[in-house]
Chains A and B, each alone.
Chain A
Amino acid sequence: MTTSSFEYFAPTTLGEAQTLLSQYGGDAKIVAGGHSLIPTMKIRLAEPKYLIDLGRISELSYIREQEGGIAIGAMTTYYQIESSSTVRSRYLALAEASGEVADMQVRNKGTIGGSLAHADPAADLPAVILALEGQISLASSGGQRTLVADDFLVDTFSTALGDDEIIAEIRIPALPANTGGSYKKFGNKASHFAIVGVSAIVTMSGGTCQRVRIGITGAGPRAVRGRSAEAVLEGKEPTGSNLAQASEQAAQGIDFLGDIHASEEYRAHLTRVFTRRALEEAISRAR
Chain B
Amino acid sequence: MPGKVHVQSNINGEDTDFLCEPRQSLLEVLRDVLSLTGTKEGCNDGNCGACTVIMDGRIVDSCCVLGVEAQGKQLTTIEGIASADGLHPIQQAFLENASLQCGICTPGFIVAVKALLDREPKPTEQRVRHWLAGNLCRCTGYDKIVRAVLDASEKIQASPR
- Do A and B pair up? The answer is yes
Bound-state Cα–Cα, A51 to B112, Å: 29
A22 interfacial contact with B, CB 8 Å: no
Kindly specify which of B62-70, B90-98, B144-152 makes contact with the partner chain.
B62-70
User: Chain B interface residue count: which class?
Assistant: 20 to 34
Checking B25, B47, B112 against A190 with a beta-carbon cut-off of 8 angstroms, the contacting residue is: B47
- Which residues on the B side are within 8 Å of A33 (C-beta)? 64
Q: Which residue of B lies closest to A4 (CB)?
A: B23
- Which residues on the A side are within 8 Å of B21 (C-beta)? 5
Checking A42, A51, A103 against B22 with a beta-carbon cut-off of 8 angstroms, the contacting residue is: A51
Checking B49, B60, B133 against A192 with a beta-carbon cut-off of 8 angstroms, the contacting residue is: B133
- Which residues on the B side are within 8 Å of A67 (C-beta)? none
Checking A7, A34, A53, A105 against B134 with a beta-carbon cut-off of 8 angstroms, the contacting residue is: A105
- Which residues on the A side are within 8 Å of B15 (C-beta)? none
Contact A191 B66 (CB under 8 A): no
Checking B5, B64, B71 against A39 with a beta-carbon cut-off of 8 angstroms, the contacting residue is: B64
Contact A3 B23 (CB under 8 A): yes
Checking A3, A8, A104, A190 against B68 with a beta-carbon cut-off of 8 angstroms, the contacting residue is: A8
Bound-state Cα–Cα, A191 to B23, Å: 24
Contact A105 B60 (CB under 8 A): yes
Contact B59 A35 (CB under 8 A): no
Q: Which residue of A lies closest to B21 (CB)?
A: A5
Decide: A7 near B2, CB < 8 A? Known: A105-B52, A109-B60.
Answer: yes
Which one of B1, B28, B65 has the highest number of Cβ atoms from chain A below 10 Å of its Cβ?
Answer: B65
Min Cβ gap A97→B in Å is 15
Min Cβ gap B26→A in Å is 10
Contact B44 A6 (CB under 8 A): no
- Which residues on the B side are within 8 Å of A39 (C-beta)? 44-46, 64
A79 interfacial contact with B, CB 8 Å: yes
Bound-state Cα–Cα, A35 to B63, Å: 9
Contact B60 A108 (CB under 8 A): yes
Bound-state Cα–Cα, A106 to B51, Å: 12
Q: Which residue of A lies closest to B44 (CB)?
A: A1
A89 interfacial contact with B, CB 8 Å: no
- Which residues on the B side are within 8 Å of A103 (C-beta)? 49, 133-135
Contact B49 A105 (CB under 8 A): yes
**CB-defined interface of A181-215 with B at 8 Å, one 1/0 digit per residue?**
00000000011100000000000000000000000
Checking B44, B65, B71 against A34 with a beta-carbon cut-off of 8 angstroms, the contacting residue is: B65
Which one of B24, B46, B63, B131 has the highest number of Cβ atoms from chain A below 10 Å of its Cβ?
Answer: B46
Bound-state Cα–Cα, A104 to B65, Å: 15
A1-23: which residues lie under 8 A (CB-CB) from chain B?
1-8, 10
- Which residues on the A side are within 8 Å of B6 (C-beta)? none
Bound-state Cα–Cα, A34 to B46, Å: 10
A-B CB proximity, top 5 nearest: A103-B134, A8-B22, A39-B45, A108-B58, A105-B134
21 A–B contacts from the bound complex (CB under 8 Å): A1-B44, A6-B22, A8-B22, A33-B64, A34-B64, A34-B65, A34-B66, A34-B69, A35-B46, A35-B64, A38-B46, A53-B66, A55-B69, A103-B134, A103-B135, A104-B59, A104-B134, A106-B46, A108-B58, A108-B59, A108-B60
